[in-house]
């Protein structure tokens, strides 16, 4: 909701009145203190500094779950909801096998560490302060990991060296770890406008980051699919040398896409669309008399490229 106020002068000060509805909703009265922040776009943001009832940062997960939900899902869910202390509690001693499953779930989440443990309890704590995190840096980190995975796919495509493909699935696990961290941060930003303002992100931009993060996580999965497909192409690549050229075209689309999104570069976004059209035409020209395995690989390349097109499409149009 927007309000219009006339600036008044009292002595040497310029004053405006606060909207009545906002004052009443936040319990503001004479003598109350409010927080005022200046933003990069020259706007002001005003927050009440009243003590608010905050969601508990501690959660207890009873084990085993009465609904037979996997323990890993419950731990991940609590992490994404922003809980700082996650306690797994059982009425009887937790078996070695189940304890390992719990620890494996915790290890998959960035900065969640076990701080206390006994026969019936495991306590994990999130050790990072949200104010020290940077959504842009985490997004770049995910993109960088996926880029490395894809470069190895291209190298394997050229050299037929299967050895370099073995670590790609493992690196996708790190993509998932960073993705969960970013989702946790973005949820915190949606709940805490002051934190969002400090990171200079609007609610729309936070949602765009959430979509971009999801697409990058999908790109990691696609890179794993491509790595598996390369293994079945070992004998076909020699007959289709321009397949490597197509793969490199996709790599250029990827680089341009992420930079355009981070920098709000609409021209870069449009360039991604143009590169993708060229790629589509190139793939179409290759489909005649092409081996079924190669066609399948080209389909995966196209699927991978469309992820970057979707990320570039999040850039706001030029007014």
pLDDT tens sequence across 87-125 = 999 999 998 998 999 999 999 999 999 999 999 999 999
pLDDT score, position 289: 61
Per-residue model confidence (pLDDT) at position 52 = 42
- Is the CATH number 1.20.58.220 carried by domain 132-312? yes
Q: Cα(112)–Cα(305) distance, rounded to whole angstroms? A: 33
Give the mean model confidence (pLDDT) for residues 145-172: 87
Q: Is the pLDDT of residue 85 over 50?
A: yes
Instruction: State pLDDT tens for residues 160-189.
Output: 677 888 889 889 999 999 999 999 999 988
Which segment of 195-204, 252-261, 263-272 scores lowest on mean pLDDT? Answer: 195-204
DSSP letters, 164-217, are GGTTHHHHHHHHHHHHHHHHHHHHHHHH-HHHHHHTT--HHHHHHHHHHHHHHH
User: Is 3's pLDDT higher than 70?
Assistant: yes
pLDDT, averaged across the chain = 85
pLDDT tens per residue across span 182-214: 999 999 888 887 788 778 888 889 999 999 999
Instruction: Tell me what percent of the chain is helix, strand and coil, each rounded to the nearest 5.
Output: 60, 15, 30
Position 262 pLDDT exceeds 80: yes
pLDDT of residue 162: 74
User: What does the DSSP 8-state code read for residue 43?
Assistant: -
* DSSP H or E segment with residue 113: strand 112-117
Query: Could you report the per-residue pLDDT of 21-59, keeping only the tens digit for each?
Result: 888 877 787 767 777 766 666 777 787 764 443 455 899
State the pLDDT at residue 231.
80
**Taking the model in full, what pTM does it have?**
0.77
> Can you give the residue ranges of every domain in the chain?
8-48, 58-126, 132-312
């Amino acid at each position: 909701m927007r309000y219009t106020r006339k600036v008044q002068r009292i002595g040497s000060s310029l004053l405006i009145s606060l909207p009545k509805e906002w004052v009443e909703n936040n319990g503001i009265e004479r003598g109350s203190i409010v927080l005022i922040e200046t933003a990069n776009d020259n706007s002001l943001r005003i927050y009440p500094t009243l003590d608010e009832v905050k969601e508990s940062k501690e959660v207890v997960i009873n084990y085993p779950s009465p609904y037979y939900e996997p323990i890993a899902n419950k731990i991940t869910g609590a992490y994404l909801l922003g809980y700082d202390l996650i306690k797994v509690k059982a009425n009887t001693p937790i078996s070695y096998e189940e304890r390992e499953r719990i620890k494996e779930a915790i290890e998959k989440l960035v900065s969640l560490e076990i701080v206390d443990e006994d026969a019936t309890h495991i306590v994990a704590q999130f050790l990072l302060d949200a104010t020290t995190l940077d959504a842009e840096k985490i997004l770049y980190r995910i993109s960088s990991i996926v880029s490395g995975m894809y470069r190895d796919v291209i190298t394997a495509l050229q050299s037929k060296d299967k050895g370099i493909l073995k670590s790609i699935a493992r690196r996708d696990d790190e993509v998932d770890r960073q993705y969960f961290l970013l989702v946790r941060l973005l949820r915190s930003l949606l709940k805490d406008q002051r934190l969002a303002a400090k990171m200079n992100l609007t609610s729309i931009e936070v949602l765009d980051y959430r979509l971009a993060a999801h697409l990058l996580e999908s790109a990691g999965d696609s890179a794993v699919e491509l790595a598996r497909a390369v293994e079945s192409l070992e004998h076909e690549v020699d007959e289709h040398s321009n397949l490597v050229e197509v793969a490199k075209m996709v790599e250029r689309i990827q680089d341009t896409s992420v930079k355009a999104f981070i920098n709000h570069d609409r021209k870069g976004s449009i360039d991604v669309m143009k590169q993708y059209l060229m790629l589509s035409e190139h793939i179409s020209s290759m489909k005649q008399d092409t081996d079924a395995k190669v066609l399948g690989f080209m389909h995966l390349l196209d699927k991978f490229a469309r992820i970057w097109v979707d990320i570039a499409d999040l850039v706001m149009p030029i007014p």
